[in-house]
Structure 1
Amino acid sequence: MSWSNYEKAIEIIEQNQEESDFVGKRSVSLIEKAETTLGLKFSKIYRHFLINFGAGDFGSEEVYGVIDDDFINSSVPDAIWYTIKQRKNTGLPENYLIIYATGMGELFCLDFNKLNRENEPAVVSINLGKKFSEQSIELIADDFGDFLLEIFQEELENIQEELE
């Protein structure tokens, strides 16, 4: 279901352009530089998202990705910069890539140590206010496609409710 849910999330973006604000297509060489910088190999779904959308938001839901190749002097929604920053400042383990923030101290990450049958990393929740040895890591979604579809569907419902 991973890829099909990802495609459904993309359909939501395409059918609601007025609610979408993404940085746009990113080059494969930029994605590869990001992978090398983090020491991770991105999965098929997340890589497709980065190449086609980069990073950005749908409504109020901001998804982190790749902006440009300055991974040191950047800001949110640059997943590479933010992950490097948190590795340095909080000891974020290297198997995590931060892709989303709830705004209440909770971060959602791709966990490259928890891969499904399609080799897609699970989306997990971490709290930077606690030591990693003391927190329970919560599973949010089986993969990025499931996660993206869930947050975009919820946001679309919120937008539609506001219009009524």
Structure 2
Amino acid sequence: MGIREAEHFVRLVRENPDESIFAGGCSESDIAQAERRLGVTFPESYRYFLRELGDCDVAGEEIYGIVVRDGRMLGVVTETLDLRESTGMPSHLVAFRPDGMGGYFTLDTSEMSAEGEAPVYVWGVGAHSATESEYIGTDFGTVALDLAKRGLGIA
């Protein structure tokens, strides 16, 4: 689970250029640098997304990735670091999209599976642990695919 869904997600983004914006894939060195800055290892399906798209919005469903501008690493790195500093979000969580209600979809890297996937939770401002958060899904690929299908109106 995870990689197949991430591949399907990437296909949907590319097949719907009128409703999708993406930055372009990231290099392995950019991904490694982002992991070092955040002190985590990204799940495999999220790494695939980063390599293929970098960062994207599909039909209004924004997903933070890695965008490098003027030597500064934006997207998932700045958003996650800002949340850790301003709200006390735990260091094992990686915020990859806002939920629209003040919380953030996060990858819980402390719960990596044998397949290299991390579960997704919505972490709300004021929460103190992932256990207080709402469980969303088993992995990034599955959640991203569901978001894209919802945004594109695909059953």
Q: TM-score over 0.5 for the alignment? A: yes
- Taking only aligned residues, the RMSD between alpha carbons, in angstroms, comes to 2.0
Q: Which has the higher contact order (CA 8 A, sep 6+)?
A: 2
Which of 151, 160, 164 is the aligned partner of 2:147? 151
Q: Distance in 2 between matches of 1:141 and 1:133?
A: 17
Shift of 1:117: 3.7
Shift of 1:24: 0.8
**Residue of structure 1 in register with 2:83 after alignment:** 86
**Residue of structure 1 in register with 2:23 after alignment:** 23
Question: 5+ unaligned residues in a row in structure 1: which ranges?
Answer: none
Residue 119 in 1 paired to residue 116 in 2?
yes
Task: Report the TM-score, using the length of structure 1 for normalisation.
Answer: 0.85
Task: Report the TM-score, using the length of structure 2 for normalisation.
Answer: 0.90
Shift of 1:152: 0.5
Kept after mapping to 2: 8 A contact 1:127/1:135: no
1:43-122 to 2 correspondences below 5 Å: 43-68=43-68, 69-71=71-73, 74=74, 78-122=75-119
Please identify the structure whose Cα radius of gyration is greater. Answer: 1
Q: Distance in 2 between matches of 1:57 and 1:143?
A: 19
**2:80 maps to amino acid:** T
Q: Distance in 1 between matches of 2:31 and 2:130?
A: 33
Q: Distance in 2 between matches of 1:90 and 1:135?
A: 16
**1:91 maps to amino acid:** G
Q: Deviations over 1:27-83 (max 9, x none)?
A: 211111111111111122111111211112001000001111514xx5xxx110011
Aligned length: 153
Shift of 1:140: 0.4
Q: Distance in 1 between matches of 2:153 and 2:43?
A: 28
Q: 1:109 to 1:131 in 2, by over 3 A?
A: closer
Kept after mapping to 1: 8 A contact 2:123/2:130: no
Q: Distance in 2 between matches of 1:147 and 1:133?
A: 20
